[in-house]
Structures are given as C-alpha cells and as structure tokens.
Amino acid sequence: MSSETQVRLLTEERRREIVNLLEKEGRVTVSELKKLFGISAVTARSDLDALNRNGLLVRSHGGGIRPLVTGPDFPLKVRETLYHDEKQRIARAALDLIRPHQTVIIGSGTTCGGLARQIRRAPPEHLTVITYALNVAAQLSEMPNLALVVIGGIFRQVSNALVGPQAEQMMASFHADHCFLGTVGLDAEVGLTTLDILEAQLNAKMLNSARESTVLADSTKFGHRSLAVIADCSQIQRVITDSNAPQAGIDDFRARGVEVFAV
C-alpha cells in the first residue's frame, strides 16, 4: 500500500469518528479535535470543511455543529461514513443466519451493503441472492459460485437502487428463504418506514416473497417514523441492531413477538 493511500485511509477514518462524535455531542471544536486525534489546527479545520461540503455539519466559529435540519436520506456515499463499526457488527451477525443452498433477498442501504461484503468474504455454499440495490450487486457480481438476480426498474440515485412497478412485478414472482431489509424508521407501534414511497412498496413485496425476514438497523433508527410505511411488526421475525439501541425500544419489539439481537 502506498503512503498516499495510507494517508487517505487515515483521513477517512478520522472523519468518520468526527461524524460519530458530532452525532453524540451535537458540536465539535478545533481544539477538541487537536487533542483527541493529535493533529494540527490546520488539519482539524480541513476535516471540518470537508464534512461541511458533504452536508454532515455546519461550520461555526472554532468548530462545527450538527445541521439544524437533517434527514436520513443522505446519498449512499455519505451514509457509509455514519456508524461504520456498528453496521459492520450488524452485517456479520446477519451473515450467521444464512445457510448453504438458500435464496436470500437483500435490500438497499449501507448496512445491507455491509452484508454483501460479508458474503463476499465468507460465502455460504450455493447461495442465490436477489437484490434491487446496485451497491449490493456490485459487491457480489464477480463471485463465481453465487447466483445473482438483479431486479430492474427506475433508478433512485440517492439510494443507488432500482424501484417502481416493474421492480415490484418482478419481485412478486420470486420466493426466497430469507429477506434482509434496511429501514429509515423503526417504531414498534408503526412498524418499518422509509422516505421513498416507491421503495416502501417494493420492500413490502420483498417481505411477502420471503419465508422469514430480518431487519438490519443501527440504534439511531429506533423510535423514528418516516414518510412511507413498509410493514408492521407482524411481518418481520427479527431485528439486528447495535449495542447502543434503547432498551425500551427493544422491549417494545419483543413484546410484539419480534426477536431483537443487539450486537
């Protein structure tokens, strides 16, 4: 690995940590970043400026603050920087649920993309994967012993996925052993929700096409209600989340018969 690549990776990792700190504390300062990461003020300001350009913070005098108006529907590249370690743990736990010779449906989003990376790293034997997410398909496209089915439809750029009536019709024609689904909102009373109506409709078809379903959702999704309802709790068997998930939210799902694993 070249020194230039090493520097780039270190910079990306540091900026991910700054975003995580911002999500927890609401603001960060240059002086705090200098002490925390052992970097210069110039480097700290450069990090803040880069995150500001990506819409992940608002620059303030001496630091940055969490945007006053935010939405979870950031572009996929931006969302990949959020809660990276938590999503990796969730993806590894999801892989343990997949058995050889199964057909699985994998949804869109960064955590589902993480599951695709785990499958590529340790593929179950004779696996068939159905997906409408191009980031998932890209991870699995060169695997010789895996059957990949990509659903066609209208390209939704923000999630890098294909949705719409054609995608729904094609999904309805399949049967799968297991569906792994990401979500924007996770509320025991309302169920699963997302920002895009077409994606919600396709997700509902995915759940109907699978014998069992697992939701992959980091802890920030708990208690959030978004625009379009995908399904209520009766249509999912389990949720895999991270160890920061609120206990009250976990208990609400378990009371409705949904398994919850916090990893």
- Mind listing the pLDDT tens digit of every residue in the chain (263 residues)? 455 555 555 888 899 899 888 888 878 999 999 999 999 999 999 999 888 877 777 787 788 887 654 445 556 665 655 678 899 999 999 999 999 999 999 999 999 999 999 999 999 999 999 999 999 999 999 999 999 999 999 999 888 999 999 999 999 999 999 999 999 999 999 999 998 889 999 999 999 999 999 999 999 899 988 889 999 999 999 999 999 999 999 999 999 999 999 99
What CATH number is attached to the domain comprising 98?
Answer: 3.40.50.1360
Same domain assignment for residues 43 and 98: no
What does each C-alpha distance from 213 to 8, 31, 60, 166 come to in angstroms? Answer: 38, 46, 44, 22
Identify whether the C-beta of residue 185 lies closer than 8 Å to the C-beta of residue 217: no
Domain count, the chain: 2
- Would residue 107 be called left, alpha or beta, if left means φ above 0 and alpha means ψ between -120 and 50 degrees? beta
- Please give the distance of CA 172 from its chain centroid, rounded to a whole number: 24
pTM over 0.75: no
Give the structural domain span for 136. 78-262
Same domain assignment for residues 163 and 249: yes
With both helix axes pointing from N to C terminus, report the angle between 41-53 and 3-25 in degrees, rounded to the nearest 10: 70
Count CA atoms within 13 Å of residue 228 on its CB side. 14
Provide the terminal-to-terminal Cα distance of the chain, rounded to the nearest Å: 32
Same domain assignment for residues 28 and 111: no
Same domain assignment for residues 187 and 231: yes
Strands 127-131, 103-106: pairing is: parallel
Identify whether the C-beta of residue 23 lies closer than 8 Å to the C-beta of residue 65: no
Give the Cα separation of 202 and 206 in Å (integer).
6
Torsion of CA 78, 137, 123, 6, to 10 degrees: -40
